[in-house]
Structure 1
Amino acid sequence: MKSDTKRILFFVPEWPALASGVLHSQVLSVARFLSESGFECLFVGCEVSDEKATEAGKKVFDVYGIQAFIYGIHSEKHGYVGRLLTARKVYRLTQALVRSFRPTHVYSRSLVGSAYARRIAADSDVISIFDVRGASSEEVKLKRASGGLRYWYIRYLEKKEFRKADRLSCVSKNLRGYIGAQVGRKTISVIPSCVDQNKFFFDREARKEIRAGYGLADDCKLICYCGGLSAWQRVGDIISLFEKLTGSNTQYRFLFVTKQTQQLQKLLGTTTLSKESYFVESCAQDEVYRYLSAADAGIIMRDDTVVNNVASPIKIGEYLGCGLPIILTKGIGDFSELIPQAGIGLLLDEAVDLVGQVNAFMCRLDIEEVRNHCVKFSHEHFAIESYLQEYELLYS
C-alpha cells in the first residue's frame, strides 16, 4: 500500500444496511466511486440481526466492491436515543478494526454519526468529515408546531457538529449559507445528491413500448410524478393540479411511479380523475428509468420552507437524467432558480393560475429538443464523476 493512499472509514450505523435506499444511493455508491478513483474505503454499519448483517456485508462487497463490517445490533425502538445508543455500541466494537484499517478520514452523515465519527478520528489523530444533508432542527420544527424542547436540543447538537467536525460537505449552496449563518464557517464543500447515470437515462425503445401499452397517441402529454406519498411531497396538490389540467385539455395523461400503489389508488378514487387518464406503477429501482423515459415532463412540489430551501432532492436528477423537463415550485434547494434559467423546466407561481402556466409550458414544449438539454444538465450537475475534484479536495 502506498503511504499516501487516502483511506476513508464510512461510519454510518444509524440505518439498516440492507433496507435503507438512501444508504445505498447516497453513501455506498459514493464509496464505490471513490474506491474506483484510487481511495481505499471501508464501510461500518448495522442491521437488525446477525443473519441480516452477514447478508448485508456480502451485498455491499458484491454490489459495490467495498469491504464492510456490519453489526447485527440495529434497533428501530426509541428513535433518536436508540440511534445514539447503537452508534455508541458500534464505536466501541470497531476500535480494533479502526486501528487495523488506519483511516486518514472518517465519514459520517448525521448528527449521531458525526458525534462518534469525531471520536474515532480523534482517537486515530485523523480528519472527521460530516456530510450535512439538511437542516435537522428545522425538520423538527416542521413536524412540531413550535418545535418544543426537542427542537432546541437538536439545534444545539447541530451547531455543535457544524463547529467541531474537521470538515463539512453539504448538498446545496443554500445549505452552505445556512450553516455559515449558524456557526460562521465558510469553507464548506458543496456536492449535491448525485444520480447513477447508468441507472437513470433516456431509453427510446422503452418509451415506445410503454406508451404503446398505455395506448397513448403521439400528441398525448404524459406528466409523471415519481416518489412517495408523505405529506411534505404534496401529492394531494399534484393530483389537484392534474384534475384541473384534464378539465382544460383532454390530451393530458398522468403517470405515478410509487411503492405505495394501494394507498395512491385509494386516494385517486376520491378524485374526479377518470381511470383512463392516469397510470399507477410500482417497479424495482433499476426499472424506474423505463417509465420516466415514457413521460414528457416530471413534477415535484414542495412548500417554501427552510427545510426545502436547503435541500437537494435526488428526484430532480433522476427526472433530468431520463430527459424530462421539470415542473417545480419555488424554494427547492438551488434548483428552483437553476432549472428555469437553463430552459429545462417551469417554475410555478402558485399565486396565479397554475393550469394556464402548465398549459403554456407544455404547448410550447419540444420534447425531442429539450430532452438533450435535460440529459446534458443532469450529467453536468448530478453525475458523481463531475465532482471528483471536490472529493479530492475534501479528502486531501
Structure 2
Amino acid sequence: MNTDKRINILFINDGSLDNPIILSQGLPLLKSISGNKFNPCFVSFEPGKSSEEVLNKLSGIRRQYDGEITFITTQLKYRRFLPNWLIFFFAGITSVSKIIKNEKIKILHARSLFPAIIGWVMKLRFPGVKLLYDNRGVFIEEEIFKNHWRRKSLKVKLFEYLEKRVIKKSDAIVVVSRAFKKYMIEKFEKYDDNLNRKVQVIPNRTIVSDRKENEFSNINHKKENIVGVYSGSAASWQNISELLQFINECKNVFPDFLFKIVSYQIEEFKSIIKTEQNLIDKIEFIIADSTEVIYILSDCDFGVLLRENNLINRVSSPLKFAEYLAAGIPVVVSEGVGDTKDIIRKYNVGVIIKNNDYSSAVEELIRLLQDEEISKRCFLTAKNELNLEQSIDQYKNIYKNLNDE
C-alpha cells in the first residue's frame, strides 16, 4: 500500500502500453511529474495472450520508467458471447476500483471516452476522487466513420448518454484544439453550466530538440532537388489519393523531385501506389524507429498533412504537424484541420490547400521555400507553440488545481 504523502494520480489508458501516442505524450508527462509533489500510476489494458516479442517490448518500456511510474496491467480475456467493449468496462471498473483503494488515488486522468466512463463510475463510488477527462477526439463520430457503429443504433445512443454523464461529472476536461472546445460547448453546455470553465485546450505537441536557431540560417531552399515527406499511416482518413495527386503536381513543377513516405505500413502504401507508374521512381519508402523520424524529416524540405474536411478532422490536432515544424520544415495542409490554419497564418510556416487546388498550393510552396528564414521560423514556431514542455506545465497546473479544490 502506498504511504507516500505526494498526490497519487492514476492515468487510465484506453488500450495497450505500446500505443505510439502514449509513448510520445503520456509517459513523458508522467515521468516529468514523478517526484514533484505527484506519484503517477499507469493502468493499461493488454490482451490475455501476447507474443514473446510483445511481452519483451512492454517489459522494456516499463524498465525505461522504473522507479518513476507505477505500472499496472489489466488483462482482457475476451469471450465470444460478450462484446469487447463490455469486457473492457468490466475489467476496467474492477481493476481501477482496487487501484484507487490500494494506492489511495486522488486524481483519475482518463484518456479518451472509454476510460472516462470508467472514471465516471469511480466518481459515483468514490466521491472524493477528482476526474480529468482527457478528450482526444470525437470518439463516437470516429467509430461511425470507420463503419464500426451505425449512427442510429442503440449502441450510439447508449454512448451518447454516457458521454453526457461523463462531461457533467468531470472536474476538468482537456481537448486538443480551440475548434474542439467550441464544438463541445455548443453541443454540451446545456447539460453543464460550468463547461466553459472546465474545458482547457492542450494540443498534441512534441519534444523539441535543443538545436540552436543559427543552425537553420545556412540552409539553402533555392535548390532544385526538392524533397517532400509524409510521415504516418495508410489509414483511409489520411487521404492517400489526394497525397498522390499533390505528389504528381510537385513532380511536374520541380525538375528533380523526390518524395519520402515514412511509415510502418510500407506494404500497404506500395499496394496503393503500384498503379501510379509515373510516380514510382519519385517515391522512396522508409521504415524508421520513432527516434529516427525527426532526423529523416529534417533532411526534407516540406511535410504533407492532408485530411478530409469533416468533424473528426476539424477538431483534431495531428501530432505530425508539430513534428514537421520541430524538424524545421513547413507544412502543406488541407483546409479545416484543427487549429493548423491559425498557426500557419500567424507564423507563415506552411501552405493551406483550398478546394483541392494543388497547382496554386505548389506555387505558394515555391515562394515559401525561397524564404531563407523558413526553417528557423518553423523550428521557433514549434518551440514556442508546440513544445511538449508546455503541455506538461498545463497538466501540472490542472493536477494542482484539482487537488486544491
| Paired position in structure 1 for 2:7 | 6
Q: How does 1:8-47 map to 2 (within 5 A)?
A: 8-12=9-13, 14-18=14-18, 20-35=19-34, 37-47=36-46
Q: Whole-Å Cα distance in 2 between the matches of residues 105 and 241 of structure 1?
A: 46
Q: Whole-Å Cα distance in 2 between the matches of residues 107 and 277 of structure 1?
A: 45
| Paired position in structure 1 for 2:76 | 73
2:333 paired with 1:328: yes
Contact 1:16 1:47 (8 Å CA) reproduced:
yes
The alpha-carbon deviation at position 87 of structure 1 amounts to 3.2
Q: 1:118 to 1:159 in 2, by over 3 A?
A: closer
Q: Output the TM-score relative to the length of structure 1.
A: 0.86
Q: Deviations over 1:39-69 (max 9, x none)?
A: 2101112222477679636622424731111
The alpha-carbon deviation at position 310 of structure 1 amounts to 0.5
Identity of aligned residues (%): 19
Q: 2:305 aligns with which of 296, 300, 322?
A: 300
Question: Partner letter of residue 128 of structure 1?
Answer: L
Contact 1:298 1:319 (8 Å CA) reproduced:
yes
Q: Whole-Å Cα distance in 1 between the matches of residues 74 and 156 of structure 2?
A: 30
| Paired position in structure 2 for 1:211 | none
| Paired position in structure 2 for 1:134 | 137
Q: 1:141 to 1:91 in 2, by over 3 A?
A: closer
Q: 1:391 aligns with which of 395, 399, 403?
A: 395
Q: 1:388 to 1:44 in 2, by over 3 A?
A: closer
Question: Partner letter of residue 370 of structure 2?
Answer: D
Q: 1:274 to 1:390 in 2, by over 3 A?
A: closer
| Paired position in structure 2 for 1:214 | none
Q: 1:366 aligns with which of 354, 363, 370?
A: 370
2:196 paired with 1:186: yes
Q: Which runs of 4+ in 1 moved over 4 A?
A: 50-55, 74-79, 198-202
Q: 2:99 aligns with which of 97, 100, 114?
A: 97
The alpha-carbon deviation at position 247 of structure 1 amounts to 2.2
| Paired position in structure 2 for 1:219 | 224
Q: Whole-Å Cα distance in 2 between the matches of residues 199 and 102 of structure 1?
A: 38
Contact 2:33 2:396 (8 Å CA) reproduced:
no
Question: Partner letter of residue 66 of structure 1?
Answer: I
The alpha-carbon deviation at position 356 of structure 1 amounts to 3.1
| Paired position in structure 2 for 1:376 | 380
2:110 paired with 1:108: yes
Q: 1:356 aligns with which of 360, 379, 385?
A: 360
Contact 1:47 1:74 (8 Å CA) reproduced:
no
Q: Deviations over 1:324-374 (max 9, x none)?
A: 1001111100112221321100111125x4223213322442365211111
| Structure 2 unaligned regions, length at least 5 | 190-194
RMSD: 3.2
Q: Deviations over 1:110-165 (max 9, x none)?
A: 22211212333444412011100111232234345972314433333322222222
Contact 2:205 2:391 (8 Å CA) reproduced:
no
Q: Any idea what SS the aligned residue of 1:283 has?
A: coil
Question: Partner letter of residue 110 of structure 2?
Answer: S
Q: Whole-Å Cα distance in 1 between the matches of residues 48 and 150 of structure 2?
A: 37
Q: Whole-Å Cα distance in 2 between the matches of residues 339 and 219 of structure 1?
A: 24
Contact 2:344 2:350 (8 Å CA) reproduced:
yes
Question: Partner letter of residue 107 of structure 1?
Answer: H
Q: 1:392 to 1:360 in 2, by over 3 A?
A: closer
Contact 1:133 1:170 (8 Å CA) reproduced:
yes
Q: 1:154 to 1:121 in 2, by over 3 A?
A: closer
Question: Partner letter of residue 331 of structure 2?
Answer: I
Contact 2:350 2:368 (8 Å CA) reproduced:
no
Question: Partner letter of residue 11 of structure 1?
Answer: I
228-237 or 159-168, larger mean C-alpha shift? 159-168
Q: 1:330 to 1:84 in 2, by over 3 A?
A: same
Q: How does 1:241-320 map to 2 (within 5 A)?
A: 241-320=246-325
Q: Whole-Å Cα distance in 2 between the matches of residues 388 and 257 of structure 1?
A: 28
Q: Whole-Å Cα distance in 1 between the matches of residues 375 and 105 of structure 2?
A: 43
The alpha-carbon deviation at position 275 of structure 1 amounts to 3.7
Q: 1:110 to 1:388 in 2, by over 3 A?
A: closer
Q: Deviations over 1:273-330 (max 9, x none)?
A: 3443221111111111121011100011111111111101101011111111001111
Q: Whole-Å Cα distance in 1 between the matches of residues 269 and 300 of structure 2?
A: 19
Q: Whole-Å Cα distance in 2 between the matches of residues 181 and 299 of structure 1?
A: 31
2:87 paired with 1:85: yes
Q: Whole-Å Cα distance in 2 between the matches of residues 16 and 76 of structure 1?
A: 19
Q: 1:279 to 1:60 in 2, by over 3 A?
A: same
Q: 1:35 to 1:84 in 2, by over 3 A?
A: farther
Q: Output the TM-score relative to the length of structure 2.
A: 0.84
Q: Any idea what SS the aligned residue of 1:103 has?
A: coil
Question: Partner letter of residue 145 of structure 2?
Answer: L
